């Protein structure tokens, strides 16, 4: 799959939980082909784990894809980030937040993370 960036070991903290395409499909209640399309079209980001796509579990909440995830990723891509750069940024801890932006999507800091992405991208 040409849209899967570098390996999980390169881009993600070692303790990052990831989901397989089958697990994402079950969580979203869609086909595995739909999940692959979401990855290809950059509506989901994945890394390579053992040669297969792996999607960080933090990109999801109880309802599906985390509310602000797509908007944040769109801001990063619009600002010129590559898939690998976006994934790296999402998992680089922000000292003043005490967490990385992907985790902040599940907190009241989600909009602040989007504002930071906008400021850094331009």
Residues 70-91 pLDDT 10s: 999 999 999 999 888 999 999 9
**What are the residue ranges of helices labelled H in 1-109?**
8-11, 21-28, 32-40, 69-78, 83-90, 101-104
pLDDT of residue 96: 87
Residues 17-63 pLDDT 10s: 999 999 999 999 999 999 999 999 989 999 988 888 999 999 999 99
Confidence of residue 14 (pLDDT cuts 50, 70, 90): confident
Confidence of residue 1 (pLDDT cuts 50, 70, 90): very low
Q: How far apart are CA 78 and CA 74, in angstroms?
A: 6
């Amino acid at each position: 799959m040409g849209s899967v960036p570098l390996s999980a070991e390169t881009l993600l903290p070692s303790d990052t939980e990831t989901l397989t395409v089958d697990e994402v499909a079950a969580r979203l209640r869609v086909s595995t082909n739909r999940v692959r399309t979401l990855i290809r079209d950059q509506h989901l980001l994945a890394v390579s784990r053992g040669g297969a796509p792996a999607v960080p579990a933090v990109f999801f909440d109880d309802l599906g894809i985390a509310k602000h995830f797509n908007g944040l990723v769109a801001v990063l891509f619009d600002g010129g980030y590559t898939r690998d750069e976006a994934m790296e940024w999402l998992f680089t801890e922000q000292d003043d937040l005490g967490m990385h932006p992907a985790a902040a999507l599940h907190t009241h800091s989600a909009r602040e993370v989007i504002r930071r992405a906008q400021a850094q991208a331009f």
